Amino acid sequence: MKDTELSRRDLLNAARVGALGAATIGSLGAQVAAAATGPQPHGAGLFGIEALPDPLARRVRWAVVGLGNFAVGQMIPAFLQAQHARITAFVSGNPGKAADLAARYGVTRLYSYDTFDQIAHDPEVDCVYIALPVGLHAEFTIRALKAGKHVLCEKPMASTSAECRAMIAAAQSAGRQLGVAYRVHFDPFNIAAADMIKAGDFGTVRHLIAENCLEIDPAYPPHVWRLTRALGGGGSMFDYGIYGLNGCLMMAPDTTPIDVSAIYTTPRGDTRFAQVEGGVQWRMRFAGGMTAQGTSSYAGAHVNRLLVAGTGGSLAMDPANVYDRNRALRRRPKEPDLVIDTVASQPQFAGQIDGFSLAARDNVPHRTPGEMGLRDITLIEAIYRSADAGGAPVKV
C-alpha cells in the first residue's frame, strides 16, 4: 500500500486533550478518575492550558530538587519554554554545581538536602519538582508537602505502593496538589494517538503490545543508581518498562485489569543485576476481553514501541515515547497506510510543567495525579509477585 504522510502541523491540530478516562485497577480506578476528571485548566491551548504566556510576576515559582543528568538536560531547559512557570530555587548536594546552574538560569535561592525544609518559609517557592532517584521520592515529596508546597514527582512515583499511599495522604493533609511526571500525557503525538483510539479509528481495541529495552551501562554515572535496589526501587520494569505499562493504559483507558502474569528474563550470570531484575515479560487481561503485554529489559539494544491492534485497524508507534521524535504507522482495511511523524516531541516537557503549574495555581485536577502513580506501582508489584511465583496469574 502507498503511504501518506501526516505532518507535525496536522498532528498538532489533531491533538485534543480531554480528562483522563477511568483506567482502573480495582478500587484504584475510581481514585484515578476522581483525581483526574472534573474542572479542567481553562483556556484552549494545545495541552488544555491557556494559550497566552503569563507575565513573569504571575508565573508559578518552582524549586527543582536534584540536579542530575535528566533534570539538567531536559527539565530545567523546558522551563524556558513554559508559559506559566519559572524556576526560583535549586536543591542539591553539590553546591558548586548548583551555583553554576543558578548563575546560568538566574536562580537566586539555593538549598542543600539538609536545609531543604526551610522552603516552608520561602514565599518564592510554590511548587517543587522532585528529580531524585526513586528511593528518595517518598521522603522528599512528603517533606515538600509538609512545607506547604505542591509537588510534581518524577516517575516511578515511589519504591512501593505503601510509599505512594503515604505521599497521597500527605498531599491530602496539606491541601496541596501531587502529580507524577508522566510527560507522555503531555506529548502531542501520544495525545493524538489516544484521541484516535477513543474516536474508534481502529474499531474495538483487542490487543496492546509494549516493548521497552535498553542496554544499561554500570560505568555510566546516570545508570549506577538504577542498579541499586535502595535507590532504584526495582529494575528495568520500574525505570523503563513503566512507559509501556502506563502507555497501554493511556491508549485504552476505559478498561478494567483483572489479572497479570509475568516471568523474569534477566540474563543468567549477568553481574549487573545482583540487586534488581534485568528483564521481565508481563501480560495483563481485562474484563472486556482485551489483553496487554509488555517486554522490559536492561539487557538489549534500544527498543521503544507500542502496538495497538483493533477490529478496524492498527497503530504501530515506533518509537512511541522518546524525547525528540516519535513516529507511528496507521493501518486500516482498504485505506493507504498513514505515517504519523511528529518531527519533535519536545513540547511535552513544557506542557507538563505548565499543566501542573495551572493545576496548582487554580486548584483544578491534574492530568497525571498521585493516584495514577499508585495504580502503576501496584500493578508492577503484582507483576513481580507473578514472576516470583513462576508466572502464576495475580488478581488485581
pLDDT of residue 11: 36
Domain total of the chain: 2
Clarify whether residues 274 and 326 are in a common domain.
yes
Residue 32 forms part of a structural domain? no
Q: What tens digit of pLDDT does each residue of 55-69 get?
A: 999 999 999 999 999
Q: Do 63 and 168 have their domain in common?
A: yes
327-331 and 313-317 as β-strands: parallel, antiparallel, unpaired?
antiparallel
Q: Assess whether 119 and 202 both reside in one domain.
A: no
Q: pLDDT tens, 81-127?
A: 999 999 999 999 999 999 999 999 999 999 999 999 999 999 999 99
The verdict on 45 and 115 lying in the same domain is: yes
In a domain, 12, yes or no: no
State the residue range of the domain holding 257. 188-344+379-395
Does residue 280 share a domain with residue 137?
no
Q: Is the pLDDT of residue 27 over 90?
A: no
Residue 334 binned pLDDT confidence (cut-offs 50, 70, 90) = very high
Q: Mean pLDDT throughout 10-20?
A: 33
- Does 21 map to a domain? no
In a domain, 204, yes or no: yes
Task: Indicate if 247 and 115 belong to the same structural domain.
Answer: no
Same domain, 143 and 197: no
Q: What's the pLDDT band for 46 if we cut at 50, 70, 90?
A: very low
Tens of pLDDT, residues 257-284: 999 999 999 999 999 999 999 999 999 9
The CATH number linked to 310 is 3.30.360.10
Query: Which residue among the candidates 129, 155, 240, 384 is catalytic per the annotation?
Result: 155
Which has the closest alpha carbon to 87: 47, 60, 49, 114?
Answer: 60
213 in Cβ contact with 295 (< 8 Å)? yes
Residue 35 has pLDDT above 80, yes or no: no
Of the CA atoms within 13 Å of residue 262, those in its CB half-sphere come to 31
Q: Give me the helix-helix angle, 370-388 and 28-36, nearest 10°.
A: 150
- Is 113 annotated in the active site? no
Q: What is the mean pLDDT of the chain?
A: 88
In a domain, 59, yes or no: yes
Residues 79 and 143 in one domain: yes
Whether the per-residue pLDDT at 18 is higher than 50: the answer is no
Shared domain for 233 and 339, answered yes or no, is yes
* pLDDT surpassing 90 at residue 366: yes
Please write the tens of the pLDDT for every residue from 315-329.
Answer: 999 999 999 889 999
CB 101 within 8 A of CB 200: no
The catalytically annotated residue of 243, 264, 298, 384 is 243
Do both 113 and 70 map to the same domain? yes
Residues 109 and 58 in one domain: yes
pLDDT tens for each residue of 181-208: 999 999 999 999 999 999 999 999 999 9
The answer to whether 198 is a known catalytic residue is: no
Give the strand pairing for 150-154 and 279-286: unpaired
Confidence tier at 346 by pLDDT (50, 70, 90): low
| Prediction pTM value | 0.88
Q: Kindly state whether residues 196 and 321 are assigned to the same domain.
A: yes
In the prediction, which pLDDT does 50 show?
Answer: 52
Domain of residue 119, CATH code:
3.40.50.720
**Residue 29: inside a domain, yes or no?**
no
Phi, psi of 264 (to 5 degrees): -80, 145
Tell me the three cell numbers of residue 8: 507535525
